[in-house]
Structures are given as C-alpha cells and as structure tokens.
Amino acid sequence: MSHLQRRGTRRRAGFTLIELLVVIAIIAILAAILFPVFAKAREKAFQTSCLNNQRQLVTAILMYVQDHEETFPLVKDVWPLFSQEGKVLVCPTKGEKYPNGYGYAVGLSARALGDVTSPVATIVTADLKVPSPTNDNGLYGWADVDVRHDKNFLFSAVDGHVQSFITKTTATEASKSFILFPVPWTFVVPPGPDELAVAATTDLSMFGTAGYYIPASGGGSPSSAAAPAVVTPAFLDGTLAPQLLNATGGAIAAWTGNGDTYPEYSKFKFKINNTAYTPGSTAKANGLKSIVFPLKLQDTETHLVTLAFAFHSAAAYPGMTFTVTEQETGKSLASQQVYYDGRPYYTRFAVQAASAGNTITVRCDFHAANDNVGMMGLLLD
C-alpha cells in the first residue's frame, strides 16, 4: 500500500476546535430558547396549584360564614380553620419556608355577608407579601398583595371563584376592578382588650406607616409629653394634632407632663422614626375629659385608623366612649362604650371621606375629667 493510500484510510481523532465551538453555540442557543419555556411551564403549574389552594381557603371561609349567621370571621379566627391542612397554606412559588403565603381581607372582619354589594368583585384571600408585615397574614391594603406569579397575583372572591390578575407594575392597579375593603366605615378590629397582652406585648409597630400621634413618654424615649411624637400623613390637610377638652368643653392648651406609670402601659409597642418604642406612662393634661382628632382628608381613599388606650384600673376609670364622624355628611361609626379591666385595649377601623377636603373626627370621651386618661396613640394606615 502506498503512502497516500495509508493516509487516506487514517481515522480522525476527534472534533476540531471550530466544530466544538459550533456545537457549544448551538446548545447555548437551544438552552436560551427552552429554559424560559420550561420556567414558564413550571410557574404555570405553580399558579394552578396556588389557585387550587385559594379555592379551598375561600370554600372553608364561606362555610364558616354560613355557620355563623352569615358573618365573616376576624383575621385571628381565619387561620385556625386550616390547622390540620398546613399544605393548603403553602404557596408553591414561595415554598415551604413560609408556612402561610396567603392573606385574608381584614375589611371583611365581622361583616355580614349581606353587606357585600358585589360578591364577584370583593376579595377574600390573595397572595400576600411574606413574611406578613403585620404578623397576622391580614390584607390591610393593596401594598400587602404580592405580584409573584409572572406579573400576576391570584385571589379568591366572596362569590367563591378564584382567578389571576395581571399587572403592569403593582397590585394597586386592580383597585379599579376589585374591592379590597368592601365597606368603609367598619371595624377591622372591634374595640376591646388584646387577649395576648395578658402575657405579652400588644405589638402595634406595624401600624402607623403613614403617620402617628403618640403623646406618652417612656423616659428617655423618642417621645415626651411636652412634645409628642408626631408624623402627619401626606393625605391629611394640616398637622395631625388633637383638641384637648375639659368637662365643660373648654380647650386645654397642651399636655402638661407625664402621667402615672403602670405595667399595662409598657405592654404597648409602637414604632417612632423606624425605632421600636414602648411607653412607660400616660400623658397628662389637667382636667382632661375629651380628646378630639379632626382628620381633614385630601382624598377619597379608604384609610385605616388604629386607636390604642389603657387605664390604670377599672375601678377608678370605668370606661370611655369613642365616636367617629364625618362632619359634612354626618356619617359615623356607632358610638362604642369600652370598659376597662386593666389590660391594653385597641381598635382598628376603616374610614373614607365622601369628598376630598371633608373632615372626619375621632372623639374619645372619658368617664370623668381626669389628668391621666390613658390614650396611648393614634396610628394611620
């Protein structure tokens, strides 16, 4: 066999460098095309599972409503319904790191089913930003809704259906079509004692994100009775400040100092200038009988108000009545008489002005004129 013949029959040892680069480039192009397809398919499967979870949630909640004289549960009563069904609370997109990935619309709390005028548009549960900003997995506003399913968030409605909503930026866009607060002028948390505060702190530090007025001093804290901690929300016209009134309705110029100390006062936890703060006493104003907060709203959005209060003893200070009224229309929440038993009390309610520029007054009338009335703070949103 000649030399040329031997060269013609020699086998190639492998690919050339150029051939390898071409193969790698083809694989990279295919991966770039297929991986997003696989990711979308995976997310679509997660969405289906998440929708099924929320369908089970709303079904159980509506069963509760039927069993309780057509009244929706409070947010604290919702999640125990699923104590034996832990997996249904896990959103597959967020994973088991978060045992509960869903939120309950607290605007439904203690509301009658008949109060909901548009069941198909009123949200019951939705994807929640986790961990829960309020630790109770409550939906207090559109900012709590998490757009986590490929620019979609999923929710259930009062009529029992579940669906997804696609957004361009945030969940707030859904407010034009769907209702998170079905009825303004409702109690989200009815007035009463915080049962947990018997052995723990009443943590209100997640509230007051828009503004607050906290008169009491904790001794070297960010607040003092002479200069209360105040942040006025952008949606208010004017400064957030109360009118202090004596027994005859006359004005009291200002807080005069710190009141007495009592262990229950220090069971409240607020946030001042992004710093956790616990009062050590009440604020003091000689002869104080009533506190009135005039809130002049510059919009017609639904806003949440939290009012915190605690008395030294039930015997000395048997109660307080508070009312919430829109001056221009007379619309109001029913006056609430609250009786104290030495525990921290608070309430949280939703209000909405009929027209921008209307004034909503939050008025606290105490049983008798006294220097130390126990109003611990007013928090907005």
pLDDT attached to residue 174: 83
Q: Is the pLDDT assigned to residue 4 strictly greater than 80?
A: no
For the ranges 94-98, 181-185, 227-231, 323-327, the one whose mean pLDDT is highest: 323-327
Q: What is the average per-residue pLDDT within 64-72?
A: 94
pLDDT attached to residue 223: 47
Question: Taking the complete model, does pTM exceed 0.75, yes or no?
Answer: no
Q: What is the average per-residue pLDDT within 338-366?
A: 84
Write down the domain spans for the chain.
35-176, 186-380
pLDDT band at 317 (very low <50, low <70, confident <90, very high): low
pLDDT attached to residue 194: 62
Q: What is the average per-residue pLDDT within 366-377?
A: 75
Q: What is the pLDDT of residues 158-178, one digit of tens each?
A: 999 999 898 877 787 887 788
Q: What is the pLDDT of residues 266-278, one digit of tens each?
A: 778 888 888 888 8
Q: What is the pLDDT of residues 119-139, one digit of tens each?
A: 998 999 999 998 876 678 888
pLDDT band at 363 (very low <50, low <70, confident <90, very high): very high
Q: Is the pLDDT assigned to residue 63 strictly greater than 80?
A: yes
pLDDT attached to residue 320: 77
For the ranges 101-105, 131-135, 140-144, the one whose mean pLDDT is highest: 101-105
Q: What is the average per-residue pLDDT within 24-45?
A: 73
3-state secondary structure string across the chain: CCHHHHHHCCCCCCCCHHHHHHHHHHHHHHHHHHHHHHHHHHHHHHHHHHHHHHHHHHHHHHHHHHHCCCECCCHHHHHHHHCCCHHHHCCCCCCCCCCCCEEEEHHHCCCEHHHCCCCCCEEEEEEECCCCCCCCCEECCHHHECCCCCCEEEEEECCCCEEEEECCCCHHHHHHCCECCCCCCEEEEEEEECHHHHCCCEECCCCCCCEEEECCCCCCCCCCCCCCEEECCCCECCCCCCEEECCCCCEECCCCEECCCCHHHHHEEEEECCEEECCCCCEECCCCCEEEEEEEECCCCEEEEEEEECCCCCCCCCEEEEEEEECCCCCEEEEEEEECCCCCEEEEEEEECCCCCCEEEEEEEECCCCCCCCEEEEEEC
Lowest mean pLDDT: which of 79-93, 250-264, 272-286?
250-264
Q: What is the pLDDT of residues 324-342, one digit of tens each?
A: 999 999 998 877 777 766 6
% the chain with pLDDT above 70: 80
pLDDT band at 41 (very low <50, low <70, confident <90, very high): low
pLDDT attached to residue 219: 46
pLDDT attached to residue 220: 40
Q: Is the pLDDT assigned to residue 61 strictly greater than 80?
A: yes
> CATH fold of 186-380, please?
Jelly Rolls (2.60.120)
Lowest mean pLDDT: which of 119-133, 310-324, 346-360?
310-324
pLDDT attached to residue 329: 95
